[in-house]
């Protein structure tokens, strides 16, 4: 059973957007004890589905919904709409959970960040992979110095886009449409986020961002990136909409060993120069919803002040700046330094 966050049953929550991620968060909020939820969803068919599936109030209008008061708003709309919807909720005094990425451009972000700061709002950007037990174990092993100083890393993600939501036409989803903020660069900002979480601040980026397949999309389906960190570490990153078998994995080479994580295998392994053997921890039968549930529990705890937010809006803006620097690098065919981006 999911753990409840202290005080999480108090106050009304607003969920803006009832696609797959919005529905996941609705279910998890209910399981964590949040009982008063209003959902904004413009599509009539989805509204009917939500009304049947959950004990929540449903409306098609954000403006109408914001006539009420809320403790927090969850922004689960397509990426290009995040900033505007978050700003509207912030102006009503709502604390904010914003699905990753925080936006698809820097336009409007300074105004949103200023409003958040002015109103002292609690914010969390939804990078759920931070809450996976494997990556959390990698984080703790690095902090313990188990493999010495991290020197290089390789992060990879791949999954065939039509397989993401097989009962839907992939061409109609936001991932396939640039105007909605789609494309694998922003869709999989997870890898940028956890590499920064593990290895520190990014200094420069060089990237190829391209559409190389026959997928009927107007966004990129492949990204190759080289990241240099201020610590001196170097990482390569690969993400795609192409791979016919799901893969999300990471390897870090340190001065005294190797760390490896694979989401699909639910395992972490490490090799140290001193012991000269591999050790492994695994999570057999791991339910992927668990990391989303832990993410939401953390948000509720942050609202109560019992935990500091793991990834605040200003951190999400920093991750977006790295991604946009990668796009600029690809267009200009050069390395982009983040202090000059």
CB 165 within 8 A of CB 20: yes
Would you place residue 8 in the very low, low, confident or very high pLDDT band (cuts 50, 70, 90)?
very low
Whether 35 shows a pLDDT value over 80: the answer reads yes
CA distances, 10 to each of 7, 94, 269, 284 (Å) = 6, 14, 41, 35
Q: What mean pLDDT do residues 277-298 have?
A: 96
CB 289 within 8 A of CB 111: no
Would you place residue 341 in the very low, low, confident or very high pLDDT band (cuts 50, 70, 90)?
low
Q: What mean pLDDT do residues 276-303 have?
A: 96
When the pLDDT of each residue in the chain is averaged and rounded to a whole number, the result is 95
Q: What mean pLDDT do residues 154-173 have?
A: 95
pLDDT score of 2: 37
CA dihedral over 135, 323, 231, 254, signed as positive or negative? positive
pLDDT score of 9: 43
**Of all residues in the chain, what percent carry a pLDDT higher than 70?**
96
Q: What mean pLDDT do residues 102-112 have?
A: 97
Whether 7 shows a pLDDT value over 90: the answer reads no
Q: What is the spatial distance between Cα 89 and Cα 207, in angstroms, rounded to a whole number? A: 35
Q: What is the spatial distance between Cα 312 and Cα 30, in angstroms, rounded to a whole number? A: 23
pLDDT score of 70: 98
pLDDT score of 340: 66
CA dihedral over 330, 340, 149, 199, signed as positive or negative? negative
Q: What mean pLDDT do residues 270-280 have?
A: 96
Q: What is the spatial distance between Cα 124 and Cα 98, in angstroms, rounded to a whole number? A: 6
pLDDT score of 10: 64
What domains lie within the chain, and their CATH numbers? 13-127+294-309 (3.40.50.720), 129-286+319-340 (3.30.360.10)
pLDDT digits (tens, 9 = 90+) for 182-194: 999 999 999 999 9
Task: Write the DSSP symbol of residue 88.
Answer: H
CB 8 within 8 A of CB 300: yes
CB 279 within 8 A of CB 286: no
Would you place residue 339 in the very low, low, confident or very high pLDDT band (cuts 50, 70, 90)?
confident
pLDDT digits (tens, 9 = 90+) for 219-273: 999 999 999 999 999 999 999 999 999 999 999 999 999 999 999 999 999 999 9
């Amino acid at each position: 059973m999911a753990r409840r966050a202290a005080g999480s049953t108090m106050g009304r929550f607003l969920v803006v957007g009832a696609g797959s991620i919005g529905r996941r968060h609705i279910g998890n909020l209910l399981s964590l004890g949040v009982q008063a939820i209003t959902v904004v969803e413009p599509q009539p068919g989805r509204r009917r589905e939500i009304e049947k599936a959950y004990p929540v109030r449903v409306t098609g209008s954000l403006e109408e919904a914001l006539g009420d008061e809320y403790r927090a708003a969850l922004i689960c709309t397509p990426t290009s709409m995040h900033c505007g919807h978050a700003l509207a909720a912030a102006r009503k005094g709502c604390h904010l959970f914003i699905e990753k990425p925080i936006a698809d451009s820097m336009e409007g972000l300074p105004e949103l960040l200023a409003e958040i700061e002015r109103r002292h709002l609690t914010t969390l950007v939804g990078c759920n992979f931070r809450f996976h037990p494997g990556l959390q174990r990698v984080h703790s092993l690095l902090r313990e110095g188990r493999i010495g100083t991290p020197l290089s890393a390789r992060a990879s993600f791949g999954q065939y886009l039509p397989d993401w939501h097989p009962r839907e036409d992939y061409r109609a989803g936001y991932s396939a449409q640039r105007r909605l903020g789609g494309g694998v660069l922003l869709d999989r900002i997870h890898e940028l986020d956890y590499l920064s979480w593990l290895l520190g601040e990014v200094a420069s980026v060089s990237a190829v961002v391209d559409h190389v397949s026959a997928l009927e999309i107007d966004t990129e389906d492949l990204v190759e990136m080289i990241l240099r960190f201020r610590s001196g570490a170097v990482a390569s990153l690969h993400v795609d909409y192409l791979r016919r078998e799901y893969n999300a994995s990471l390897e870090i080479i340190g001065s005294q060993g190797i760390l490896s994580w694979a989401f699909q295998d639910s395992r972490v392994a490490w090799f140290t120069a001193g012991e000269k053997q591999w050790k492994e921890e695994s999570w057999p039968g791991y339910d992927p919803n668990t990391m989303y549930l832990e993410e939401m529990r953390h948000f509720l705890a942050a609202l109560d002040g019992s935990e500091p937010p793991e990834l605040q809006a200003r951190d999400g803006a920093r991750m977006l700046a790295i991604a946009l620097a990668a796009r600029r690098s690809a267009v200009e065919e050069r390395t982009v330094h983040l202090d000059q981006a």
